[in-house]
Amino acid sequence: MRLTNVNRGKIIGRKKRDPQRRDIELIVYFFAMRDISNYEKPMKNYLSKYMYNRRNITNKDLDDDRKIFYQTCDNVVNHLGEKPFHLRTGLNPPALDSVMAIFSHYLDNIPDDIHKRYEILKKDKEFDETTRRGTNDKQAVNRRFQRVRVILFNEISS
Name the pLDDT band for 25 (thresholds 50, 70, 90). confident
pLDDT digit string, tens, across residues 39-73: 999 999 999 999 999 999 999 999 999 999 999 99
User: Is 68 inside any structural domain?
Assistant: yes
Residue 142, domain member (yes or no): yes
Cβ neighbours, 10 Å, residue 11: 25
- Mean pLDDT taken over the chain: 89
Q: pTM here?
A: 0.88
The sign of the CA dihedral 142, 105, 15, 2 is: positive
Residue 158 belongs to a domain: no
Secondary structure (DSSP) of 9-57: IIIIS--SPPTT-HHHHHHHHHHHHT-GGG--S-HHHHHHHHHHHTTT-
Q: Is 110 inside a domain boundary?
A: yes
Amino acid at site 24: I
The range of the structural domain enclosing residue 96 comes to 5-153
How far apart (Å, rounded) are the C-alpha atoms in residues 156 and 158?
7
pLDDT tier, 16 (very low <50, low <70, confident <90, very high otherwise): low
Closest CA to 83 of 99, 67, 104: 99
Q: Is the pLDDT of residue 123 over 60?
A: yes
What sign for the dihedral angle of Cα 76, 116, 125, 102? negative
Distance CA 53, CA 135 (A): 24
Q: How many domains does the chain have?
A: 1
Provide the pLDDT for residue 23. Answer: 78
- DSSP E strand boundaries for 44-147: none
